[in-house]
Amino acid sequence: MIKKEHITTVYEYDSAADLSSDLQKIIIESKEAALRAYAPYSNFNVGAAVLLSNGEVFSGNNQENAAYPSGLCAERVAIFYANSKYPNVPVLAIAICAFNKNGILKTPVPPCGSCRQVLLESEIRFKTPIKIILVAQQTIQIIENVSELLPLSFQKDNLFE
């Protein structure tokens, strides 16, 4: 037997002021996007904002549907929107923020499995790490790349083994 460990490193900040102006910008955009989410069923509003390597910023939010599987998460809305506008420009970072009826959450919310897979595909596609920024009331967590969030990932090579 061989034991293998996968360790995820998370950097935690008390304030966005400790981050670059580009990252501060997408944090603000993610919060604003969350407030515009269409979440009448869960009342769980999520916003995401992506920073592209050309400096462009795109935001998205969760879009619910009475048939729950038909909705879409904020992260995928934002990344698909960015990729549809600039299909050859890598995503450098994504900020994610969530609100409920009491306001912005106290603890950061990471992307779901489907969003992690989509983010990983983008990271692999452009051979560029995507910084994940998880925003909460008084805490900001940063993971340096999607591979840290999805260490045992399904990738295109798995299709041809």
Q: In Å, what is the CA distance from 143 to each residue of 43, 54, 69, 140?
A: 27, 21, 28, 10
- Sorted by sequence, the CB contacts under 8 Å of residue 62 that are 6+ apart come out as 37, 38, 39, 44, 45, 46, 71, 72, 73, 74, 77
DSSP summary character for residue 67: S
Is 75 one of the catalytic residues?
Answer: yes
Which residue of the set 64, 75, 121, 161 is catalytic?
75
As annotated, the active-site residues are: 75
